[in-house]
Amino acid sequence: MSDTKSRIDEIVKANDVVLYMKGTKEMPQCGFSSRVAGVLNYMGVDFADVNVLADEDIRQGIKDYSDWPTIPQLYVKGEFVGGCDIITEMTLSGELDTMFDTNGVSYDKDAANKIREANG
């Protein structure tokens, strides 16, 4: 296993929720990363953020790791969930709530409902 893949694997498995993104959860550097980080922050999810702009090996490595061509990428309990469009759809349908519930990830259910109400 390459050093980069090992580093990614370690981060994904060491954290319940990880977002590989452009920028940080406090200062996203692209609209798609901002949307996913914003949803997670609003819902009060405790998540690790990895800024792919800070490390070119990670930026390419995460795409190879997941076999997914775009960033951001969300992982829950070591499993790749998806990118911005998928996370948006899952949030609006309630699937993300279910995934968090199933995996024991705490989040603000009222905040999740407010997102759906505002976009319904």
Residue 18 has pLDDT above 80, yes or no: yes
In the chain, what are the domain boundaries? 3-118
Distance CA 77, CA 13 (A): 7
Arch. (CATH architecture) of 3-118: 3-Layer(aba) Sandwich (3.40)
Give the pLDDT band of residue 1 (cuts 50, 70, 90): low
Q: What is the gyration radius of the CA atoms in the chain, in angstroms?
A: 14
Residue 84 has pLDDT above 70, yes or no: yes
Distance CA 12, CA 116 (A): 28
